[in-house]
Amino acid sequence: MKNPFEAFHHTGARKREIPLDTILKSKEETLSKILTGYEDLLKNEAKDLVWLMQYSTVIKAYSIAERGIEGLEYTAEDIEEFCYALDHSDQIPYLITGPAGIYISALCNHAQEQEICLHLRDLTVKINLLGYRLPTNKKLMVQGNVGDFTGIGLDGGELIIEGSGKNYTGAGMKRGKIVVRHNLGFNTGHGMTGGELMVGGRIKGLGKIVGGKLYERDQLIFPNEGIKPFYV
């Protein structure tokens, strides 16, 4: 039978590549690698799609995340793309906010940039555990609202949330600074031992704070006479 595509024998792809193509290709490849790391994390940590928020599981998940991103070259924009893909793309079958937040925190902590800005306003889901162990000399700005356990274990970095957070913000932070422009939920600063937590809006409830400073609408509310440090 005659080849019905005969006329296209010599039409190889007359592809003209412009730098935009390279940039987008590289972006896709990087995102793909980041997604692979996340999937590995889920495989190890979220069996049956259940992940329990516990001290030990967080630590373990973080070290798996670190291993997953080792050797990866990425930028702050790649992290943002990953956050976007979590929410919108069907590339990621499961969005479990705990491991997702830890993974993103690992990405931020190991990014080349000192200052990272994540634009998360459009996300429908609020990611937990952002800013986990943010180290000294790192500044993470999040445009949008965040979930629970934001900035827990902060280790010297500066975390700015241009939005609201939920519960257990700043829990266990050791040093550094967290600024939240709007409101926070319950158990704020639970177990924090140092650093500053500044809230521009209202705090629904405080946790058992050990040390550091906590401001609500520019007023220092911890330490002050009404609230004593919590000694375990």
Q: Report the interface residues with other proteins, using CB under 8 A.
A: 3-16, 18-21, 23-24, 27, 75, 77, 81, 84, 88, 119, 122
Q: Report the Cα 70 to chain-centroid distance in Å.
A: 17
Cβ 202 to other proteins, closest distance in Å? 25
SS3 label, residue 157: strand
Kindly tell me which of 39 and 113 has the beta carbon lying closer to other proteins: 113
**Distance between CA atoms of residues 132 and 102, nearest Å:** 7
- Cβ proximity of 167 and 148 under 8 Å: yes
Cβ 74 to other proteins, closest distance in Å? 12
Cβ 161 to other proteins, closest distance in Å? 17
Longest dimension (CA), the chain: 93
Nearest to 82 by CA among 44, 27, 136: 27
- Cβ proximity of 203 and 188 under 8 Å: yes
